[in-house]
Amino acid sequence: MAEADTLPRRPESVLVVVYSSDGEVLLLQRRAPFAFWQSVTGSLETGESHGDAAARELFEETGLAAGASLEYSGNLRIFDIDPRWRHRYVAGITQNTEYEWRCRVAARIAVRLDADEHVDACWPPIEAAIKRVWSWTNREALESLRAML
């Protein structure tokens, strides 16, 4: 059983925006607690840096080994944890800090989904991705990327 399954989660996470040179963005459709689209995300494990978490989550959720193309954007956001996920944290924890990472790939590539977490993947253009993602932090991360491209 993974550590994340046995211990309360840290209220820190990563969001990794995977994008291609031509402005397409990888989105993953979440399995539970309801179907929604998002970038790669995940909580930091005990003693793990957000950089290590970004690389680990990217590999676990897509099969991609990022290497030098994984970069911290310098952006972080604090948000209220959705009540559907609060049971995963120590009682009384209501906010999470999310670190924004980016991974550039040369072109759209096939990914290996973690079937426990996601049911589908797609590569929409960045404008369509901004409209499709569920969370405001993911929208802001995509808008930040769009301004950089």
pLDDT at 3 over 70: no
pLDDT at 7 over 90: no
Q: Distance between CA atoms of 18 and 16, rounded to whole angstroms?
A: 6
pTM of the model: 0.92
Encode pLDDT of 111-146 as tens digits.
Answer: 999 889 999 999 999 999 999 999 999 999 999 999
Encode pLDDT of 11-35 as tens digits.
Answer: 999 999 999 999 999 999 998 878 8
Q: How many other C-beta atoms lie within 10 A of the C-beta of residue 33?
A: 9
List domains and CATH numbers for the chain: 3-148 (3.90.79.10)
- Please report which confidence band the pLDDT of residue 2 belongs to, taking 50, 70 and 90 as the band edges: very low
Predicted local distance difference test score (pLDDT) of residue 51: 97
